[in-house]
Structure 1
Amino acid sequence: MVNSNIESYLNLLPHKPGIYIFRDQTGKVIYVGKASNLYNRVRSYFKQIHNTSDKTAQLVNNIDKIEYVVTESEIAALLLESQQIKKYRPFFNILLKDDKSFPYIKVDVKNDWPTISITRRRYNDGAKYIGRIPSAWSARQTYEYIRKIFPLRSCNKVLDGKASRPCLKFHIKRCQGPCIGAISTDDYQLLVKRTVALLEGKEDQVIRDLKIEMEGASARLEFEKAAQIRNQLQAIKAVIESNKIPLNIRGEQDVIGIARDQDLACIRIFSVKDSRLMHDEHFIVERASGETDENLLESFIKQYYLSAEHIPGQIWLHTPIDESQLIKQWLSGIRGGQVTIRVPHKGAGLRLVQMVIENAKQQLDIYQSRKASRPESLKVLTNLKEILKLEQVPHRIEAYDISNIQGTSAVGSMVVFENGVSKPSYYRRFKIRQVDHTDDYAMMSEVMRRRFGKHDADDKKWSVLPGLVLIDGGKGHLKAALTAMKAVGAGNVPVISIAKENEDIFQPGIPHPAPLDKSSEELHLLQRIRDESHRFAVTYHRQLRSKKGKESALDSISGVGPARKKALIRKFGSVSNLRTAAVEDLTEVKGITPSLARRILEELG
């Protein structure tokens, strides 16, 4: 039931487009939204609250005051919503976390003799700021690349062209020497123009102008100048080639993909122009578990393009969004030209979207590893010790999983995490040898005996015992693992299992799951480790299946090595044709004797 205070606000809402702002009891803004009809949209939050998501229910329970701003259109509401989210950064809105401050390349174009530099802050000073560049290393590489091709000055001297001698950068061809009058103002401004064009991705224009200039210099027999321009062209083309992606993509588009893991999401964006990767950024979204991909994409597009320096004609996504038409109108208005939003379903477009998603997954892994190495990870592990009633903090956790299809190509995996960070150099994989039928418990038992049977060996990779063993499975898997560990003298190592169905954590001798909250950092850590062990096991299983699929009936015949096998298949085409051949036919193949030919036909049946 809606309290009287909230009801008084709801009764004042107009049937018009605009934005609404929710505040809590302290007056803090906790959510900003937009609506085509404020009256209907805001009231919808307070109808059937029990049917809403946990996040929405929590939001509604914290609302103490409602404010609204009427706008002339829904597009104006969308723009104002994005601005207010950026201003207040409300807790219940989807907020982008870029995990860094971006460097920019600054070209001080208002100066008579513009300088080029790297900066992390933008000022309203009339200069050109080209970025946002993903890392300081990339910014430095770009800076050096530009200055090598178009050597603008980097000093802050007041120039009059009458200096007695130039600095070292003039002699190493990293400056054109305006301080000594070695270059005219017009020629220097041409360098500035080309520098800015190159930084803005207009390489085709720069290359075209340089070719014309080179041909003119050559015609005037100014071969040294022509050679200098040729070197500039080669340097530009080399960088263009290094940024190409292995897909035939024409035009200019931003491609956006999402990777998710529990409560985190990583949104990655590739800016592509004619198969060249012009720009690459990523953003982390926390508290993302209650949001759909569609909501994440819509919120990202609104926040990202609100301050973007350039908007392409096409935006490619991996899933449709509800407000596609409205966002296209908004972006088209900012761009001054049509913007389309599409979801590629085949061809190079689909592969490019998949590439972006895969890169988002890698970036999310990097973020999680960095986060795990921070001091708060120790707190998570300490909490895990208390919850599971362990004797020591589990700094090293080993996780195990089994992968097979009806008992064939069965494998086990072991992954290791130390202080919440994966240690791939300690990963191990096991090909199941003693179980030839479908029995996950027996397979798990074999893996644990083989791993912990070596714990008293001198080899460090086996002798280091974990503070906690995590089994992917339920109570049956846990019992099998514990029994095997006790049999080889490792029964004192703590072991738990995690069941996929309800993500319950089981401990030996305790009938009920461990009291871990489903949204807790402790459970998320265990899930991440379990998922890594599953990934590692499945990858190895697929490798074995693929290898087995390529095996031939000839492989098991003594005397038939790779060379003879290849020669036989080349002559007969297949093993089926070989079975129907005569001994005389086989002996025509180099290295096949009559006795070997008879043995081959006998074993092939």
Structure 2
Amino acid sequence: MSSPAPLTLEEKLKNLPTNPGCYLYKDKEGQIIYVGKAINLRNRVRSYFQKSANHTPKTRKLVANIVDMDWVLTDTELEALILECNLIKKHQPKYNVRLRDDKQYPYLMLTTSEPFPRVLITRRVKQGDGNKYFGPYTNGAAVRDSVDLIYRVFPLVTCKKEWTNKVEQKPCLYHHMGRCPEAPCAGLADKERYAQTVKDTEVFLQGRQDSLAKNLQAKMETAAENLEFERAAKLRDQLVAINTIVERQKVVSTTTGDQDVMAVVADETGAAVQMFFIRGGKLIGQEHFLLDGAEDGVGEATAEFLKRYYQDASFVPGEILLPTHVEETEIIESWLRQKRGAKVTLSVPERGEKKRLMELASANAEQALTQLRAVAAAEQSRIDGALLELATALGMPENSLHRIEAYDNSNVQGRHAVGGMVVFERGKPKKSEYRRFKIESLPDNTPNDFAMMFEVLTRRFAQMAEGNPKFTQQPSLIVVDGGKGQLSAAQDAMKQFGYDFPMIGLAKQYEQVFLPGAHEPIEFPRNAPALFLLQRVRDEVHRWAITYHRNVRGRAANMSILDEIPGIGPLRRKNLLKFFGSVAKMKKASAVELAKAPGMNAKLAQEVFDYLKGA
């Protein structure tokens, strides 16, 4: 019995419910290109497709690319907002406002899930892991300086190992230098004193240095009165460092409350957001962020950035100053109140001190956007020059290199062999077009670069010939990582489908460019922009292929070691890897922790623990 045909977009529009929820628009390739939320899905979604709708250019372009949609129902609009944030973060849809390179923003993590917490730099926030996060920050160097300062001011564990305060080794050099006076590795730590240090560190990271300074002052005086002069001296040094930071902070408000000031400026190149962080009336820090997909102006950028930023922000103040009113004010305030555990107010200042702060932040945002425009213009000019130089050297027409595809393979003695394809459009990576191939034709794990390249290009052009929408774009130039042999194999693969796209090989040893049928390779000057562009393309496809190879090899290694444990079948193996992430993390887990994975019990967990301990 055949399954029923899937509903068309028109049929789905007719069957939309009136409940709150999220809707997901998809393009012809099935990619999610936009995620939105609504208190009434039917009314909101249908409004996109009304002929009389007065859409912005961005929305018109979005609607023109919608060929399918899904929706997820929720009980309330607040639940829809939370789900929308999570879906956008997961799928990074093309037409939603996005934090540019938001995955790269560093956070400071206070590892409060450990017996003796530390401060680490991380780029991933894991909800519910028991740790506390502060950020995000846009300046990686400043974050590293902050960590160094924290370890100089607060006597926390400085190494990367976890300790239980059991005697495991002699105190290390950091202990003798006074940088890790507690030394839990040698069982010397006072747990209560260390816990207080962790609390002080958390107060410091929250920007509440005034209250921390008062607390340290009181402790220092008490220690001096008790004739604990060495402890008093250490507290004095901490106090001096804290007071130095406090003196640098500018008093900008007569109120003692906490505020975030958010200024947004936008144009066709994107949007810039300037954040001022005010704690207790003092400006303790500032960050600026760049947004993509904000062509519809400041209002959209403000609302979307609010949701993107505070989804993972470590702290939500009682008041957030905005440059303009947003339509979802009440529901966003409700969401932020839930995260903060207290009232949060979104306000647009019109006069006085708050207005002055907004103007100052706006000036900084405008400067950031101006720099963005200048950098973007200079970068594109440099890339255009490199493309022109490359086209000329290859005997191709000017402005003909719209799409460059590059291919590389990765393996270890023929095992876990994979291929990678990357795409550059107008000289810039287009990651949505990257593709991966698992090599299937190597006999007996025998390494053969030419055969691997032939298979990858054969499969690429076979998909193109069959009309697979993921492979229908025609390349302006194909770059093969390798010399004459790899280039010849790629040529053979292409010609069997009747295609004749320009193709070159780039040999790494001497950075020579090989053309099909040419007797001599092209050698660019070492400082030629065209060579830099080719190297960037080659390095990117190499990175892409080798990353995939490591993933495949790592999964195979994980599978093989778990397959050897009695009682661990495919489902338990899958659950263990999903729960812990890797075998390396499983090896660090106790039997009790292993038993928490789905499908495990105490007996099996002990067997896994014993096996991995001896592995």
The residue aligned with 1:413 is: none
Residues paired across the two proteins, number: 386
Taking the aligned partners of 2:169 and 2:21, their CA distance within structure 1 comes to 65
Amino acid aligned to 2:300: N
Aligned residue runs from structure 1 range 386-535, under 5 A: none
Shift of the 243–322 alpha-carbon distance from structure 1 to 2, 3 Å rule, reads same
- Decide whether the 8 Å contact of 2:153 with 2:241 is kept in 1: yes
Equivalent positions of 1:59-70 (< 5 A) are 59-70=62-73
The residue number in structure 2 matching 1:519 is none
SS at match of 2:275: strand
Give the gaps of 5 or more residues in structure 2: 1-6, 392-397, 400-615
Alpha-carbon separation, structure 1, partners of 2:290 and 2:132: 28
Q: 2:139 aligns with which of 131, 135, 139?
A: 135
Which residue, 192, 195, 211 being the options, matches 2:198? 192
Matched, 1:149 2:116: no
2:37 corresponds in structure 1 to 34
Match for 1:307 among 312, 316, 322? 312
Judging changes above 3 Å, is the alpha-carbon distance between structure 1 residues 15 and 280 closer, same or farther for their aligned structure 2 residues?
same
- What residue number does 1:286 align with? 292
1:338 is matched with which residue?
Answer: 343
Once residues 36 and 283 of structure 2 are traced to their aligned partners in structure 1, the CA distance between those partners, rounded to angstroms, is 34
| 1:201-350 equivalence runs, <5 A | 201-289=207-295, 291-350=296-355
Distance apart, 1:197 and its partner CA: 2.4
Q: Distance in 1 between matches of 2:53 and 2:341?
A: 45
1:95 is matched with 98
TM-score by length of 1: 0.58
Cα distance in 2, alignment partners of residues 158 and 71 from structure 1: 44
Shift, 1:232, TM fit: 1.6
One-letter code aligned to 1:364: L
Deviation at 1:242, TM superposition (A): 1.3
CA distance in 2, matches of 1:30, 1:151: 48
Give the structure 1 partner of residue 10 of structure 2: 7
Whether contact under 8 Å (1:98, 1:282) holds in the other structure is no
For 1:366-377, list aligned pairs within 5 A: 366-374=371-379, 377=382
* Inter-partner Cα distance in structure 2 for 1:345 and 1:329: 23
CA distance in 1, matches of 2:198, 2:22: 44
Distance in 1, Cα, partners of 2:188 & 2:197: 14
Alignment partner of 2:220: what SS? helix
Distance 1:71 1:125 in 2: 26
- 1:58 is matched with 61
Q: CA deviation at 1:135?
A: 2.0
Distance 2:239 2:346 in 1: 35
Q: C-alpha separation between the residues in 1 aligned to 2:287 and 2:370?
A: 15
CA drift of 1:247 comes to 4.6
CA distance in 2, matches of 1:100, 1:23: 23
Deviation at 1:315, TM superposition (A): 0.8
2:19 is paired with a residue whose SS is: coil
Measured in 1, the distance between the counterparts of 2:217 and 2:356 equals 35
Alpha-carbon distance change, 321 to 109 in structure 1, aligned in 2, over 3 angstroms: closer
CA distance in 1, matches of 2:75, 2:124: 35
**Any idea what SS the aligned residue of 2:99 has?**
coil
Q: Is the 8 A contact 2:220 2:232 kept in 1?
A: yes
Does structure 2 retain, via aligned residues, the 8 Å contact 1:249–1:349?
no
Q: Which residue of 1 is the match for residue 489 of structure 2?
A: none
Does 1:362 pair with 2:351? no
Q: CA–CA distance in 1 between the matches of 2:23 and 2:356?
A: 40
Aligned-pair CA distance for 1:152: 1.5
Q: Which amino acid aligns with 1:252?
A: D
- C-alpha contact (below 8 Å) 1:50/1:57 kept by paired residues: no
- Given that 1:166 and 1:177 are in contact with CA atoms closer than 8 Å, whether structure 2 keeps it comes out as no
Alpha carbons of structure 1 residues 89 and 139: separation in structure 2 relative to 1, 3 Å: same
Whether contact under 8 Å (2:165, 2:188) holds in the other structure is: no
Q: Is the 8 A contact 2:138 2:289 kept in 1?
A: no
Partner Cα distance (2:245, 2:141) in 1? 16
Report the 3-state secondary structure (helix = DSSP H, G, I; strand = E; otherwise coil) of the residue aligned with 2:259. Answer: strand
Show the counterpart of 2:406: none
Please, which moves more after superposition, 56-65 or 241-250?
A: 241-250
Describe the shift of the 1:30–1:199 C-alpha distance in structure 2 as closer, same or farther (beyond 3 A).
same
Q: Give 1:454's aligned residue.
A: none
Q: 1:79 aligns with which of 55, 58, 82?
A: 82
Picking from 170, 178, 185, the partner of 2:175 is 170
What amino acid is aligned across from residue 179 of structure 2 in structure 1? R
Hey, what's the Cα distance between the residues in 2 that align with 1:164 and 1:330? Answer: 48
SS in 2 for 1:379: helix
Rounded to whole Å, the distance in 2 between the matches of 1:165 and 1:53 is 67
Moved more, 32-41 or 245-254: 245-254
> Cα distance, 1:269 vs. partner?
1.9
Mapped partners of 2:119, 2:58: distance in 1:
47
Relative to structure 1, the CA distance from residue 321 to residue 129 in structure 2 (aligned partners, 3 Å threshold; closer, same or farther) is closer
Question: Which residue in 1 is equivalent to 2:420?
Answer: none
Q: What amino acid sits opposite 1:332 in the alignment?
A: R
Could you tell me the TM-score, scaled by structure 2's length? 0.57
Gapped regions of structure 1 (runs ≥ 5):
387-391, 394-605
**Counterpart code for 1:29:** I
Give CA-to-partner distance per residue, 1:170-213, whole Å, 9 cap, x none. 34432215255665333223222222222233334423332221
One-letter amino acid of the structure 2 residue matched with residue 195 of structure 1: T
Residue 372 of structure 2: SS of its match in structure 1? helix
The CA deviation at 1:327 is 1.3
User: In 2 relative to 1, CA 57–334 (structure 1 residues): closer, same or farther, beyond 3 Å?
Assistant: same
Change beyond 3 A, Cα 1:337–1:184: closer
Q: Letter of the 1:66 partner, please give it.
A: M
SS across alignment from 1:118: strand
* 1:512-540 C-alpha deviation (Å, 9 max, x unpaired): xxxxxxxxxxxxxxxxxxxxxxxxxxxxx
Partner Cα distance (2:372, 2:363) in 1: 14
How far does residue 165 in structure 1 lie from its aligned partner after superposition? 6.4
| SS in structure 2 at match of 1:250 | coil
Provide the secondary structure at the position in 2 that maps to 1:364. helix
Cα distance in 1, alignment partners of residues 264 and 129 from structure 2: 36
More deviation, 338-347/176-185 = 176-185
Deviation at 1:377, TM superposition (A): 4.0
Shift of 1:353: 1.0
Checking the alignment, whether the CA contact within 8 Å between 1:82 and 1:303 is kept in structure 2 is yes
Distance in 1 between the 2:387 and 2:114 partners? 58
**8 Å contact from structure 1 (residues 249, 348) kept in 2:** no
- Give per-residue Cα distances to partners, 1:375-432, cap 9 Å, x unaligned: 674328978xx9xxxxx99xxxxxxxxxxxxxxxxxxxxxxxxxxxxxxxxxxxxxxx
